[in-house]
């Protein structure tokens, strides 16, 4: 990096867990997308066993590596990266992403032109160039249910034809550019979220401080999705529900939380009997899901 003032630079934080196969494309595309921008890259490794650390040190020696002794989850790992970062803008980036040329330059330009923007997110596409729903509004029981059952399909179709920027309620943490000042005001990631909902929680806290969040589809990023979390198996679903319940407890009404628990009880019951009948999952492991509902 050159000696430009740090307020003009970008810190990129990548949390990795056994995703060496995707790191090469991710880090290579990062360099290609930031040719004219001073930047630093920090990979926080959650105790990978696939040789990720050795790979980074061999092929991307300019990248700083933080080696955790255990899998700390997404929030704690990102917070470690934040502590070591120095720039005025921070990009949170998943290792299973590939950046289009100039995508980050476009995100930074949009951020700098909107002084009240706390975060800017690109359009996320899968490997077949289908748009992913990477933003949303309020996360509450009925809006979330409506979103998942109906609106996600409509939104994916709309995103293929609507390329306008828009103010949103939250942005996906798979690729999220954040202003450090807004992060300092709202606080870093809540470490009680091991995985899932931590990005929505952070976005909500920044918005509660009066900041804006912008979805900016002129910048595009491929997001393969689930390459690290798929290694967790059934635990991935357990972590999702645990985080979902905690998010509702933290941000939503008691009524919404009760509705969610009723819905999840029915969901877990169906999952349990399905496992008994078809032996696809371990039914004894699914029993642990019900313990989540007992938490206050």
Q: Per-domain residue ranges for the chain? A: 6-229, 231-292
What does the mean pLDDT of the chain come to?
91
Pick 263 or 34 by higher pLDDT. Answer: 263
Assess contact for 174 and 137: CB atoms under 8 A: no
The tokens of 125 are what?
A: 């596409």
pLDDT band (50, 70, 90) for residue 6: low
pLDDT band (50, 70, 90) for residue 7: low
pLDDT digits (tens, 9 = 90+) for 220-274: 999 998 766 666 778 889 999 999 999 999 999 999 999 999 999 999 999 899 8
Which 8-state DSSP code applies to residue 132?
P
pLDDT of residue 229: 67
Residue percentage of the chain with pLDDT more than 90: 73
Nearest to 236 by CA among 281, 296, 202: 281
Pick 283 or 252 by higher pLDDT. Answer: 252
Q: CB burial class (10 A; 0-12, 13-18, 19+) of residue 216?
A: buried
CATH superfamily of 6-229: Spore Coat Polysaccharide Biosynthesis Protein SpsA; Chain A (3.90.550.10)
pLDDT band (50, 70, 90) for residue 153: confident
Please check the confidence at residue 2 and state whether its pLDDT lies above 60.
no
Asked which of 89-93, 103-107, 207-211, 274-278 is least confident by mean pLDDT, the reply is: 274-278
3-state helix, strand, coil in the chain (%, to 5): 50, 20, 30
């Amino acid at each position: 990096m050159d000696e430009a003032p740090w307020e003009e630079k970008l810190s990129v934080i990548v949390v990795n867990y056994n995703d060496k196969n995707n790191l090469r494309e991710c880090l290579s595309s990062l360099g290609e997308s930031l040719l004219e921008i001073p930047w630093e890259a920090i990979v926080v490794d959650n105790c990978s066993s696939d040789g990720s650390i050795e790979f980074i040190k061999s092929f991307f020696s300019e990248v700083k590596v933080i080696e955790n002794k255990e899998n700390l989850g997404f929030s704690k790992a990102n917070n470690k990266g934040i502590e070591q970062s120095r720039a005025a803008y921070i990009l949170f980036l998943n290792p299973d992403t590939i950046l289009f040329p100039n995508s980050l330059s476009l995100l930074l330009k949009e951020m700098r032109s909107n002084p009240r923007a706390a975060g800017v997110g690109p359009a996320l596409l899968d490997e077949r160039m289908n748009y992913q729903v990477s933003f949303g509004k309020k996360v509450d029981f009925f809006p979330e249910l409506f979103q998942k059952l109906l609106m996600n399909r409509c939104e994916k179709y709309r995103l293929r034809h609507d390329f306008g920027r828009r103010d949103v309620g939250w942005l996906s943490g798979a690729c999220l550019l954040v202003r450090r000042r807004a992060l300092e005001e709202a606080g870093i990631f809540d470490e009680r979220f091991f995985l899932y909902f931590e990005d929505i929680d952070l976005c909500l806290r920044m918005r509660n401080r009066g900041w804006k969040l912008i979805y900016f589809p002129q910048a595009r990023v491929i997001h393969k999705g689930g390459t690290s979390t798929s290694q967790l198996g059934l635990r991935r679903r357990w972590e999702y529900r645990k985080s979902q319940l905690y998010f509702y407890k933290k941000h939503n009404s008691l009524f919404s939380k009760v509705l969610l628990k009723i819905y999840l009880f029915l969901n877990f019951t169906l999952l349990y009997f399905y496992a008994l009948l078809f032996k696809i999952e371990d039914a004894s492991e699914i029993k642990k899901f019900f313990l989540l509902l007992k938490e206050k």
